[in-house]
A and B are shown apart, each in its own frame.
Chain A
Amino acid sequence: DAGITQSPRHKVTETGTPVTLRCHQTENHRYMYWYRQDPGHGLRLIHYSYGVKDTDKGEVSDGYSVSRSKTEDFLLTLESATSSQTSVYFCAISDTNTGELFFGEGSRLTVL
């Protein structure tokens, strides 16, 4: 168990509302990532962080923002949710020695 928890695990919201997903790690890893997973697309990187207050964009960052004020927490925010953001969101941390990614259990978001 890699010590990653995501919250909430399920959320239904309406178009135009803000949504924040939280990822918490107990492993003290430097790198943290947010992915979304959609049928036929695999996992796509939204944003990642390489340290406290250090973040960068991934492949599909439009409409998303992130923040990392503490090593253990990485927040993903949808400022104004759209139906195209209905997806399963995964947080991950990486072991820089092995390149292995450890994933959380996922957060299923439905935007109506």
Chain B
Amino acid sequence: SQKIEQNSEALNIQEGKTATLTCNYTNYSPAYLQWYRQDPGRGPVFLLLIRENEKEKRKERLKVTFDTTLKQSLFHITASQPADSATYLCALDKGYSSASKIIFGSGTRLSIRP
């Protein structure tokens, strides 16, 4: 069966360091991989999408890598700040016009301490 795993349920790091979150998957061939941020009591918010033929994508302090051989994506936040504290979800997408085949990981709760 299809499976998507995010490396840890919670991650605590010092402000200013780089946070690295991992998303691994099995039995799935995604065309895209997406990352979302979710704050407590709120809905997820889209951050980045990376295609299967892209190795790396950046947006401000965010960087995502996608290795289809390892079946893994890494999500980095550089120069982390307490405001980056949130739960981060990865999602696999087959790239159909409908999002009905997207599957989500259960998330990693990131805490940045001052």
Contact = CB atoms under 8 A, between A and B. Distances in A.
Q: Do the two chains belong together in a single complex?
A: yes
A90 B32 CA distance: 22
B42 A50 contact: no
B46 interface: yes
Contacts of A48: 98-100
Interface residues of B, number: 25
Contact of B89 (A33, A42, A45, A96): A42
B106 A90 contact: no
Contacts, number: 64
A105 B41 CA distance: 7
Interface in B42-70: 42-46, 49
Interface string A22-66: 000000000101000001111111001010000010100000000
A101 B49 CA distance: 11
B34 A58 contact: no
Interface in A54-109: 56, 58, 90, 92, 94, 96, 98-106
Interface of B: 4, 32, 34, 36, 41-46, 49, 89, 91, 93, 95, 97-100, 102-107
25 contacts: A31-B99, A40-B106, A42-B89, A42-B104, A42-B106, A43-B44, A43-B89, A43-B104, A45-B102, A48-B100, A56-B100, A90-B43, A90-B44, A92-B99, A96-B98, A99-B95, A100-B34, A100-B46, A101-B91, A102-B46, A103-B44, A104-B43, A105-B42, A106-B41, A106-B43
**Pairs A-B, 6 closest by C-beta atoms:** A103-B43, A42-B106, A43-B104, A42-B104, A94-B99, A100-B46
